[in-house]
Amino acid sequence: MKSLRIIAGSLKGRRLDTPTWDGLRPTSDRLRETLFNVVAARVGEARVLDGFAGTGAVGIEALSRGAAHVTLVESDPRAIRLVERNLDHCAVTDRYAIIRARFADAARRLQSGSFELIFLDPPYGPDVIVSSLEAAAPLVAPGGLLILEHARRDAAPARAGSLAKTRDLMSGDSALSLYEGPESPGGL
């Protein structure tokens, strides 16, 4: 597996550990850079939810770029240890919480409307896309944004609860679909 790095912000250039097992597909540096270029204006002081944290790269990138707080959700104990190592390596000691749970279970326990930015990178497959979006939609704050990473071959639905898809970005075999609520300013 190719190494990952933090692309910008206070932790720029820090290298992150990657999984030593199959089944975890970290968001590439290139796709993370595309993602954060698009959402840059929304990251500062945002409450961020990384719904399938994996390596923690997206959440750590958000912290590096000024997010107020990041909640990382992950069910695999190996990935939890990987996220903890990466946070430790980057000397991140606060402004985050790790929840060890399946995403749908964690989403039911989180407060509705409490995140300005939500990033979901569930295992690829159309069924998981829909269930993940449905679980996450109530958590988006007014004016917030939900970003879904998925396989390019698996179309993301046009709507998820009160959220409407406003944009798709393609990169290799992956795609990012951006969803905004009715109170969102639009334009992404």
Domains and CATH numbers, the chain: 4-120+134-180 (3.40.50.150)
pLDDT (0 to 100) of residue 127: 83
Contacting residues for 136 by C-beta, under 8 A, at least 6 apart? 49, 51, 103, 107, 118, 120, 146, 160
* pLDDT confidence band for 69 (50 / 70 / 90): very high
pLDDT at 188 over 60: no
- Alpha helices by DSSP H, listed for the chain, are 29-43, 57-64, 77-89, 103-109, 126-136
Residue-averaged pLDDT of the chain: 91
* pLDDT confidence band for 185 (50 / 70 / 90): low
Determine contact, residues 166/154, Cβ cutoff 8 Å.
Answer: no
Q: What is the percent of the chain with per-residue pLDDT over 70, rounded to a whole number? A: 96
pLDDT (0 to 100) of residue 1: 47
* Spatial distance between the Cα atoms of 90 and 64, rounded to a whole number of angstroms: 9
Instruction: Give the CA angle between residues 104, 139, 145 to the nearest 5°.
Output: 115
